Amino acid sequence: MKKYKIFVACDTSNINFVRKIIQNTKNRKLEIIPKFGLQFFYSENGRKFLEKFKGNFFLDLKLNDISATAKAAINSIKDLKRCRYITIHANGGLEMMRAVKKEAKKTNKNLKILGVTVLTSLNNRSLKETGHTKNINQIVRKQASLIKKSGCHGIVCSAQEAKFIKMKYKNLFVVTPGIRLPGDKKDDQSRVVTPFDAFVKNQADAIVMGRSLTKNNIKKNIQNLINHIY
């Protein structure tokens, strides 16, 4: 039976809640890795927690700056040896992504760089409001080509774009956020799919899940996820 990879979003600054999430999402049928974003990383004790954390983790910082600054940011987390994935934004451009990839190769050979495309909270209307003249599919396809060209290990995109990306760039590791179990609220997401559709129909390599797993009874949510996928 295939062991699906799930990144569970620890979107909190509460250390005790993070420990609860990690403890209650442990499961032999799934490969579950905690994902820490800006809220946790910027919190008073978040950085210290990650310095001592014994397991592998995903750092979702979406770096987007000039090449020198993005490169320096990668160097500044070289002590976080258990960090296995980090996000940078494709909007930063080809040279920035190449600089980050090069720096990561020197500081942490196990660190995989994932290029973020259009956020799953956005839709075509949102993009038009910011001045874009192309639609989401066109933008994501262009960003995917840059991510591939930069040498980054993977891409973060909606599951709605994942199938095309996987077909064209077979070696790119495709991660899809905006995932909800059937019946769950969309909340602030626009382009939402279920875990089954992401993995089976759209060929994602990994998915990101937050509230569908961490709200209320975490162990029960994990079991619901297993029942849904398998």
Active-site residue flag, 52: no
pLDDT value, residue 120: 84
Q: Are the C-beta atoms of 108 and 83 separated by less than 8 Å? A: yes
pLDDT in tens, 136-170: 999 999 999 999 999 999 999 999 999 999 999 99
Is the pLDDT assigned to residue 219 strictly greater than 90?
yes
pLDDT tens per residue, range 19-64 = 999 999 999 999 999 999 999 999 999 999 999 999 999 999 999 9
Query: Is pTM, for the whole model, over 0.75?
Result: yes
Task: Supply the pLDDT for residue 186.
Answer: 67
Could you tell me the pLDDT band of residue 100, with boundaries at 50, 70 and 90? Answer: very high
Name the active-site residue from 3, 26, 35, 62: 62
Please answer whether residues 87 and 114 qualify as being in contact, where contact means their C-beta atoms are separated by less than 8 angstroms.
yes
CB 159 within 8 A of CB 176: yes
Q: What Å distances lie between residue 230 and 92, 108, 176, 183, CA to CA? A: 38, 35, 19, 18
Domains of the chain: 4-229 (3.20.20.70)
Model pLDDT, residue 190: 64
pLDDT at 189: 67
